[in-house]
Amino acid sequence: MTRIRKAIFPVAGLGTRFLPATKAMPKEMLPVVDRPLIQHVVDEAYEAGIEHLIFVTGRNKGVIEDHFDRQFELELTLMERGKKAELALLSEALPEAGTVSFTRQQSPLGLGHAVWCARELVGHEPFALLLPDVLVQHPRGCLAQMIDAASGLDGNANIIAVEEVPAERAHMYGIVGVGQPKGKAFAITKMVEKPKREDAPSNLSITGRYILQPEIFDILEKQAAGTGGEIQLTDAMVALARTQPFYGLKFEGRSFDCGSKIGFLTANIAYGLDRPDIAPELRNEIRRLLSGK
What values do phi and psi take at 7, rounded to 5?
A: -130, 140
Of 149 and 258, nearer to ligand G1P (C-beta) is 258
Shortest distance in whole angstroms from residue 70 CB to ligand G1P: 32
Q: Which residue is nearest to ligand G1P (CB)?
A: 174
Under a CB-based contact definition with an 8 Å cutoff, are residues 55 and 64 in contact?
yes
Of 213 and 255, nearer to ligand G1P (C-beta) is 255
Shortest distance in whole angstroms from residue 159 CB to ligand G1P: 14
Shortest distance in whole angstroms from residue 166 CB to ligand G1P: 14
Distance from C-alpha of 176 to C-alpha of 248, rounded to nearest angstrom: 8
Of 78 and 127, nearer to ligand G1P (C-beta) is 127
Of 131 and 238, nearer to ligand G1P (C-beta) is 131
Shortest distance in whole angstroms from residue 207 CB to ligand G1P: 6
Shortest distance in whole angstroms from residue 135 CB to ligand G1P: 11
Beta bridge partners of residue 6, listed in sequence order: 52
Of 78 and 129, nearer to ligand G1P (C-beta) is 129
Shortest distance in whole angstroms from residue 1 CB to ligand G1P: 22
Under a CB-based contact definition with an 8 Å cutoff, are residues 20 and 122 in contact?
no
Shortest distance in whole angstroms from residue 165 CB to ligand G1P: 9
Residues lying near ligand G1P in the complex (CB under 6 A) are found at 111, 131, 133-134, 173-174, 193, 205-208, 233-234
Which of 97, 131, 99 minimizes the C-alpha distance to 207?
131
Of 104 and 171, nearer to ligand G1P (C-beta) is 171
Of 245 and 248, nearer to ligand G1P (C-beta) is 248
Distance from C-alpha of 235 to C-alpha of 225, rounded to nearest angstrom: 9
Beta bridge partners of residue 101, listed in sequence order: 54
Shortest distance in whole angstroms from residue 74 CB to ligand G1P: 33
Which of 205, 42, 223 minimizes the C-alpha distance to 131?
42
Of 49 and 263, nearer to ligand G1P (C-beta) is 263
Which H helix or E strand runs over 66?
helix 62-67
The CB-based long-range contact list for 23-28 (8 Å cut-off, 24+ gap) reads 24/60, 25/63, 26/60, 26/61, 26/63, 26/64, 27/133, 27/259, 28/61, 28/64, 28/132
SS (H, E, C) 188-242: EEEEEECCCHHHCCCCEEEEEEEEECCCHHHHHHHCCCCHHHCCCHHHHHHHHCC
Distance from C-alpha of 275 to C-alpha of 32, rounded to nearest angstrom: 12
